[in-house]
């Protein structure tokens, strides 16, 4: 499932594609997505700034009547990749792949194509201010790569939780953009047991964890994201971060630090992995 680094890689790819021509036409499949709204309002609109919050891309569009007509004309396209969603930019004459659910055709002959075989992703078109002011965006926790992010902030969000720290980190209200891969990698880097109760962690552990989260997320972005199966960037290329994962998906293999066998577990219905030696359950500071 795409997490912050994968979504950020897509956002950067869209920025690089530098789409500026207005939307000429829209195709929407008849298939139900996890959520969607009518994209019709985007016809005639010009693409603008690309933002990201957590695992969401927020693309602003200027309405047909152009600048000077007030904030009401600023539209937003919210994109969520779900489990298997892809956003690609292609020439309009390139054949469509199966499971293409949304296409914006721009006046310069290029297209944005949203492809999602499992249809857990989706999109929404609404006035930009509205998209920011309501869920899911309004409910997201802090951005872990923002300058103000810290262990103190993380502790304030989830420090009272009785849940296992790995599970608490997956809650998008606690911190935005973290999924299983980067949670497990960060806990390994911070030397914290993934099943330790969040409320037991001391301030020094929260600081280490906040730094580890930033480190693994930055590495993920630098590597163009992690591709385990489905993830592709906007030009259809796989990420490289899967080669740099230290523990994720490696239960039973030797720990990259101490060489002892990494151990798998399941909590909250999700699998995980840790090093029993480097991530002692007793370590809370
Ligand atoms: Zn180890």
Return the CATH number at 11.
Answer: 3.20.190.10
Contact 68, 147 (CB under 8 A): no
Per the domain annotation, does 206 fall within a domain? yes
Q: CA–CA separation, 163 vs 140, rounded Å?
A: 19
Per the domain annotation, does 144 fall within a domain? no
Residue 218 has what DSSP assignment?
Answer: H
Task: Choose the final residue of a domain: 139, 159, 188.
Answer: 139
What's the pLDDT band for 272 if we cut at 50, 70, 90?
Answer: very high
CA 153 to chain centroid, in Å, comes to 20
Per the domain annotation, does 282 fall within a domain? no
Distance 276 CA to ligand 1 centre (A): 7
CA 251 to chain centroid, in Å, comes to 24
Residue 35 has what DSSP assignment?
Answer: B
What's the pLDDT band for 64 if we cut at 50, 70, 90?
Answer: low
Q: How far is residue 229 from each of residues 86, 117, 241, 275, measured CA to CA in Å?
A: 12, 12, 12, 25
140-154 average pLDDT score = 97
Task: Choose the final residue of a domain: 73, 108, 139.
Answer: 139
Q: Let me know whether 35 and 125 are in one domain.
A: yes
Per the domain annotation, does 283 fall within a domain? no
Domain containing 41: what range? Answer: 4-139
Per the domain annotation, does 75 fall within a domain? yes
Write the pLDDT tens digit of every residue in 190-222: 999 999 999 999 999 999 999 999 999 999 999
Q: For residue 108, which phi and psi values (nearest 5 degrees)? A: -90, 10
Q: What is the pTM of this model?
A: 0.94
Q: Let me know whether 123 and 191 are in one domain.
A: no
What's the pLDDT band for 72 if we cut at 50, 70, 90?
Answer: very low
Q: Let me know whether 28 and 60 are in one domain.
A: yes
Task: Choose the final residue of a domain: 118, 139, 160.
Answer: 139
Domain total of the chain: 2
Catalytic residues: 2-3, 55, 270
Distance 162 CA to ligand 1 centre (A): 26
Distance 239 CA to ligand 1 centre (A): 26
The pLDDT assigned to 230 comes to: 84
Distance 257 CA to ligand 1 centre (A): 5
Alpha-carbon dihedral 51, 220, 7, 151, rounded to 10 degrees: -60
């Amino acid at each position: 499932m795409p997490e912050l680094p994968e979504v950020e890689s897509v956002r950067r790819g869209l920025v690089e594609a530098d789409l500026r021509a207005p939307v000429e036409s829209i195709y929407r499949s008849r298939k139900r997505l996890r959520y969607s709204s009518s994209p019709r309002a985007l016809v005639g609109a010009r693409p603008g700034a690309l933002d990201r919050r957590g695992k969401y891309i927020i693309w602003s569009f200027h309405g047909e009547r152009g600048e000077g007509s007030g904030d009401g004309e600023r539209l937003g396209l919210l994109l969520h990749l779900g489990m298997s969603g892809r956003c690609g930019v292609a020439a309009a004459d390139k054949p469509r792949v199966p499971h293409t659910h949304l296409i914006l055709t721009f006046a310069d002959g290029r297209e944005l194509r949203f492809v999602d075989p499992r249809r857990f992703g989706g999109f929404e078109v609404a006035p930009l201010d509205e998209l920011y002011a309501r869920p899911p965006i309004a409910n997201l926790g802090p951005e872990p790569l923002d300058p103000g992010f810290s262990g103190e902030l993380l502790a304030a969000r989830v420090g009272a939780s009785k849940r296992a720290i790995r599970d608490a980190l997956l809650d998008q209200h606690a911190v935005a953009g973290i999924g299983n891969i980067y949670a497990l990698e960060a806990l390994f880097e911070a030397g914290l047991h993934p099943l330790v109760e969040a409320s037991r962690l001391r301030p020094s552990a929260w600081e280490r964890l906040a730094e580890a989260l930033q480190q693994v997320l930055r590495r993920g972005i630098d590597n163009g994201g992690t591709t385990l199966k489905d993830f592709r960037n906007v030009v259809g290329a796989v990420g490289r971060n899967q080669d740099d994962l230290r523990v994720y998906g490696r239960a039973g293999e030797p720990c990259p630090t101490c060489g002892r066998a990494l151990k798998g577990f399941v909590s909250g219905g999700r699998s995980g992995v840790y090093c029993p030696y480097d991530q002692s359950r007793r370590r809370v500071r």
